């Protein structure tokens, strides 16, 4: 019976991740990246791949470490604490989860490249301002042995830098999932100047020709294939966001203990104590939801929907509260660009929207709980 506490192995992994990221990915690295006008950090991803993180969900037969979702969440949570910029979620979590549903030499080759840090993916999901993965206007027209893709996708995280794109389009046979090179003729990337400074793009597909091999699985089965990858991504993003919430909260409680006004530390004011204590409880509940999602994804992934949506909804909400209280309790300094809290606030806002916001996941919970 899997317990809702981290195992000894997971604790060791968390320690290792913390050590690695404090050296290789302090928040100052994000600041340097932004100040240098960049939106990604390929060198850091190579370091992470060398540490084995890129293969966390890649089967051993494809040179991965196959440690499972809960382990991936341990890493994601540590990355959230440090606001690490990497394609970990899109590539190591989502693409690996999606591709490992197939067992053929070509897919094994891709998975092996993911594990080695030599191949990155982005998921082109949204067409509107909100996450609605089954609302697809993009078309796939049969053309000889292959397809012709036309349409637009918005807010594709890692959309400029990724080597390959996974995208849903509708054909006469229903929703189809395609795996194509980001360099395909007719595919253009409009980079977005994101508030969190990371890589995201709108993608335009203008008569993009792909071969029949680009179609994953059967025509019409696109969403069923995509679903496990979405759930894995949502849960890992919840873990990352929970880590973000914890780190912002830790900065805030540290500040409450050192900042003096009226001749005493502000942490002795009950008005602030009770708000901090409330936030502490919110974070605890969210951690439980994240742990639970990891356990269920590893044990019975087909029944993970409720656990994943509870985790994503909770993490989204808790992170917003944590960064908002973080700025308010820091006062003026919390508003400055020189101070890191703003980075946490901006990342939390983007994470809230990506892969479904609170309302989307509350709706999923409602469906599964008889509302």
**Where along the sequence are the contacts to another protein (CB under 8 A)?**
1-5, 253, 256-257, 264-265, 267-268, 270, 273-274, 276-278, 280-281, 284-289, 291-292, 295-296, 299-300, 303, 306, 310, 313-314, 362-363, 365-366, 369-371
Q: How far is the CB of 287 from another protein (least distance, A)?
A: 8
Within a 10 A sphere around the Cβ of 371, how many other Cβ atoms?
8
Closest to another protein by CB, 23 or 369? 369
Cα–Cα distance measured from residue 161 to residue 159, given in angstroms and rounded to the nearest whole number: 6
Cα–Cα distance measured from residue 343 to residue 257, given in angstroms and rounded to the nearest whole number: 22
- The upper half-sphere exposure of residue 37, i.e. CA atoms within 13 Å in the direction of its Cβ, equals 0
Q: How far is the CB of 72 from another protein (least distance, A)?
A: 18
Q: Are 322 and 253 in contact (CB under 8 A)?
A: no
CA distance between the termini of the chain? 30
Closest to another protein by CB, 145 or 302? 302
Dihedral angle over CA of 35, 40, 44, 45, nearest 10? 170
φ/ψ of 368, rounded to 5, equals -80, -15
Closest to another protein by CB, 85 or 310? 310
Quote the radius of gyration of the chain (alpha carbons, Å): 21
Closest to another protein by CB, 162 or 310? 310
Q: How far is the CB of 4 from another protein (least distance, A)?
A: 4
Closest to another protein by CB, 142 or 278? 278
Q: How far is the CB of 319 from another protein (least distance, A)?
A: 14
Q: Are 354 and 133 in contact (CB under 8 A)?
A: no
Q: How far is the CB of 173 from another protein (least distance, A)?
A: 34
Closest to another protein by CB, 3 or 23? 3
Q: How far is the CB of 234 from another protein (least distance, A)?
A: 14
């Amino acid at each position: 019976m899997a317990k809702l506490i981290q195992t000894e192995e997971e604790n060791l992994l968390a320690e290792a991740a913390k050590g690695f990221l404090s050296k290789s990915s302090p928040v100052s690295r994000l600041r340097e990246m932004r100040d240098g006008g960049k939106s990604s950090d390929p060198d850091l991803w190579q370091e992470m791949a060398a540490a084995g993180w890129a293969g966390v969900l890649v089967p051993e037969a494809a040179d991965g470490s196959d440690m499972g979702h809960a382990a991936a969440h341990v890493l994601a949570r540590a990355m959230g604490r440090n606001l690490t910029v990497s394609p970990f979620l899109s590539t190591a979590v989502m693409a690996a989860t999606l591709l490992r549903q197939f067992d053929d030499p070509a897919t094994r080759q891709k998975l092996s490249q993911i594990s080695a840090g030599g191949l990155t993916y982005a998921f082109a999901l949204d067409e509107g301002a909100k996450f609605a993965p089954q609302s697809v206007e993009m078309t796939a027209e049969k053309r000889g042995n292959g397809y012709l893709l036309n349409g637009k996708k918005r807010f594709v995280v890692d959309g400029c830098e990724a080597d390959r794109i996974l995208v849903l389009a509708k054909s006469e046979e229903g929703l189809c999932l395609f795996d194509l090179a980001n360099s395909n003729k007719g595919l253009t990337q409009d980079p977005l100047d994101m508030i969190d400074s990371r890589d995201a793009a709108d993608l335009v597909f203008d008569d993009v020709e792909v071969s029949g091999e680009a179609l994953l699985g059967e025509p019409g089965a696109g969403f069923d294939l995509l679903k496990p990858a979405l759930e894995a991504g949502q849960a890992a993003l919840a873990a990352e966001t929970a880590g973000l919430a914890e780190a912002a909260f830790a900065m805030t409680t540290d500040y409450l203990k050192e900042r003096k006004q009226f001749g005493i530390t502000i942490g002795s004011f009950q008005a602030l104590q009770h708000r901090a204590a409330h936030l502490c409880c919110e974070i605890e509940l969210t951690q439980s939801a994240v742990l639970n999602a990891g356990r269920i994804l590893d044990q019975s992934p087909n029944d993970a929907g409720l656990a994943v949506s509870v985790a994503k909804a909770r993490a989204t909400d808790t992170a917003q509260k944590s960064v908002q209280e973080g700025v308010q309790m820091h006062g003026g300094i919390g508003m400055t660009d020189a101070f890191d809290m703003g980075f946490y606030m901006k990342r939390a806002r983007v994470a809230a929207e990506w892969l479904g916001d609170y309302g989307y996941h509350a709706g999923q919970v409602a469906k599964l709980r008889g509302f």
